[in-house]
Amino acid sequence: MTPKTVTPVKKKTNNSFLTFILNNEFFALGVEKVLEIIETSEENTLTNLPKAPESVEGVVNFRGNVIPIVNTRLKFDMPAYASNERFVIMVLQLNIGGVQQIIGTMADKVVDVIEIQEKDIQAVPEVGQGVNSDYIQGVVHRQDKFIMLLDLESAIQSDEIIRLEDTVETEEGAEDAIVEETIEV
């Protein structure tokens, strides 16, 4: 996969959230976690890893480091991307299992950076959400739409990343093959 454009994210305050779309639903996460946004070309091929967790779509080379790309749609029990469907990769720094890790997550489209005040965040309803409510910190109503505030650090379990690291280490020559086939950002 070759990047179409790379957009560094300008960080503001801890009230700033990056909004994005997954399967026609609006989500947001704290902008302080976002390192970059990569818009992909029509060639949506990531380097696949055998025995990787189902939600890990593959890996890419990000600034010389191999990082896993989590298919956020699969993680949230949404329909998978079609082979010709375009997506963006949000490169994030998350605290997973007590360790700061850089990972990529897939989204249909990044919308905007918005300011959200704590007083505007509502509790997650018990029913009606397609995403596990354990992964939602709250809901905000903006311009006739609801935006779910994601807690990706809870959604992406440390055992998934550990299993992925074990897969990379145990596959004979896998790291060399991965570095040669992945994109440079």
pLDDT on residue 165:
59
pLDDT on residue 130:
58
Q: What domain range is 48 assigned to?
A: 3-181
Nearest CA among 131, 130, 132, 135 for reference residue 153: 135
Please tell me the distance from the alpha carbon of residue 94 to that of residue 90, in angstroms, as a whole number.
12
pLDDT on residue 5:
47
**CATH number of the domain to which 129 belongs:** 2.40.50.180
pLDDT on residue 64:
87
pLDDT on residue 49:
81
Please tell me the distance from the alpha carbon of residue 69 to that of residue 184, in angstroms, as a whole number.
14
pLDDT on residue 44:
47
The DSSP element (H or E) to which 166 belongs, if any, is: helix 158-170
Residues 74/38, Cβ–Cβ less than 8 Å: no
Please tell me the distance from the alpha carbon of residue 151 to that of residue 144, in angstroms, as a whole number.
23
Strand spans (E) along the chain: 3-8, 16-22, 25-30, 34-40, 56-62, 65-70, 88-96, 99-107, 109-115, 136-142, 145-150
**Looking at the 3D structure of the chain, how many domains does it have?**
1
pLDDT on residue 52:
83
- For the chain, residues with pLDDT lower than 70 are 1-13, 41-45, 126-132, 158-185
pLDDT, tens digit, 9 for 90 and up, residues 51-87: 888 888 888 888 888 899 999 898 888 888 887 788 9
pTM: 0.76
The residues that bridge with 61 in the sheet, in sequence order, are 66
Only one residue has tokens 């990343």, namely 161
Residue-wise DSSP of 77-89 = T-PPPPTT---EE
> For residue 114, what are the CA distances in angstroms to 31, 46, 117, 123, 160?
9, 30, 10, 19, 30
pLDDT on residue 182:
44
